[in-house]
Amino acid sequence: MKNNYLKLEFLSLPENQAFARDAVAAFCLPLNPTLSQLSDVKTAVSEAVTNCTVHAYREAPGIVTVECTTDGNCLHITIGDKGAGIADVEAAVQPFFTTLPSDERSGMGFTIMQTFMDEFSVRSEKGAGTLVSMSKHFDPEVENA
């Protein structure tokens, strides 16, 4: 299977979450994901882009970058922003951690990404932005149901 590459840049507007989710889902279709795997990817991408929209750029929209590569039967995704950054990444990736409890945020975004993807990491610098890296492996022997 050929390796492939995709890069998207868009404003951190809520309406662009579906665009990013669907673009990444379409990009990984040649890897023959199951419907469940495709749903996992879409959910993880939605959570990452939502974090950029809600947390990174609170005052005004900014640029969100989504990059995807395929490597054999593996999809690698990075989603980044140049926004507020995260002061304590270790705390932020814990279930139920939120900096916006008044907005009724569950604090489960990073936990969902970790659960639905095979590999997950977060790098962030306060005031300089955040980069979420995720990977999903697709079994070439599994056919869509």
Domains of the chain: residue spans and CATH: 4-137 (3.30.565.10)
- Whole-prediction pTM: 0.87
Q: Is 58 a catalytic residue?
A: no
Contact residues for 76 (Cβ-Cβ < 8 A; gap 6+):
68, 69, 70, 133, 134, 135
State the catalytic residue, choosing from 67, 73, 105, 123: 105
Q: Give me the catalytic one of 16, 51, 67, 90.
A: 51
Residues of the chain with pLDDT under 50: 143-145
Q: Among this protein's residues, is 51 annotated catalytic?
A: yes
CA-nearest of 79, 62, 72 to 130 is 79
pLDDT at residue 99, rounded to an integer: 59
Q: Is residue 143 flagged as an active site residue?
A: no
